Amino acid sequence: MVLSGRTKTFLGESRRNFYTTGAVLPSGMALAREVTKHLITPHREPLRILEAGPGTGPVTRMIAKRMIPGDTLDAVEINSAFAQAMRDLVARDPGFDSTRDRIRVIEADLLTLAPSGDYDAIICGLPFNNFDPELVRKLFDAMEGLLKSGGRLSYFEYWAIRTLKSPFVGSQMRQRLKGIGNLTGEIRKRMGASTRLILANFPPALIHHMIKD
């Protein structure tokens, strides 16, 4: 099997920096379609979109495909290798010909962005199950601070990953995973989340869609 340059970059960074990568393969097409589905609402107004944790860009490519005139996208990536891969992708890939002048790749920690309330939609690929509950809370607070009232937040996580990990880890990690599950469950309940399971991804993924009051 011949791997693309972006896939090689992803695999290399997954080995070196699994904490901020959180996956062994890039997201698949079915996941990308579902997590961006609100961008194909008929007759919608232009949106200011933020993608948190684009990696090497599989979801970014779908966002660009679904952007309409007037849409803008800020792709915020903390990993420098991924940020460079994203800059190269947007600059050179023909799939971005009609949108590249409206896409910014921002190499930064999401927590450093000012809570502007400017974004209509946030699409998030951050690996929350790798983090401590307090960091997860801060990241969700940051995304809510970046969203407009009525803005949409969509994120994904790998199906049953906390349940599958728990029998094979120590008590401290089990408590951490339980804390993340409780916290994200509370956030989804408060924001009225809808959830869809995508089996056609490796590993299968849950996509959560929420709206800020």
Model confidence at 27, in pLDDT bands (50, 70, 90)? Answer: confident
User: Where would I find the H helices in 49-207?
Assistant: 58-66, 80-92, 133-146, 161-165, 171-190
Q: Is the pLDDT of residue 14 over 80?
A: no
Helix H, strand E, coil C: the string for 183-212 is HHHHHHHHCCCEEEEECCCCCCEEEEEEEC
Whether residue 195 contacts residue 208, with contact meaning beta carbons closer than 8 Å, is answered with: yes
Average confidence (pLDDT) over 130-150: 97
Q: Sheet harboring 72-77: ordered strands across?
A: 103-107, 72-77, 48-52, 119-124, 147-158, 205-211, 194-198
Q: Measure the CA–CA gap between 107 and 94, rounded to whole angstroms.
A: 23
Summarize pLDDT for 148-193 with one digit per residue, the tens.
999 999 999 998 777 767 777 788 898 999 999 999 999 999 999 9
Domain boundaries, the chain: 5-211
Superfamily of domain covering 5-211: Vaccinia Virus protein VP39 (3.40.50.150)
207 forms beta bridges with 156, 196
pLDDT of residue 93: 97
Q: Is the pLDDT of residue 112 over 50?
A: yes
Q: Measure the CA–CA gap between 65 and 98, rounded to whole angstroms.
A: 9
Q: Measure the CA–CA gap between 67 and 63, rounded to whole angstroms.
A: 6
pLDDT of residue 8: 53
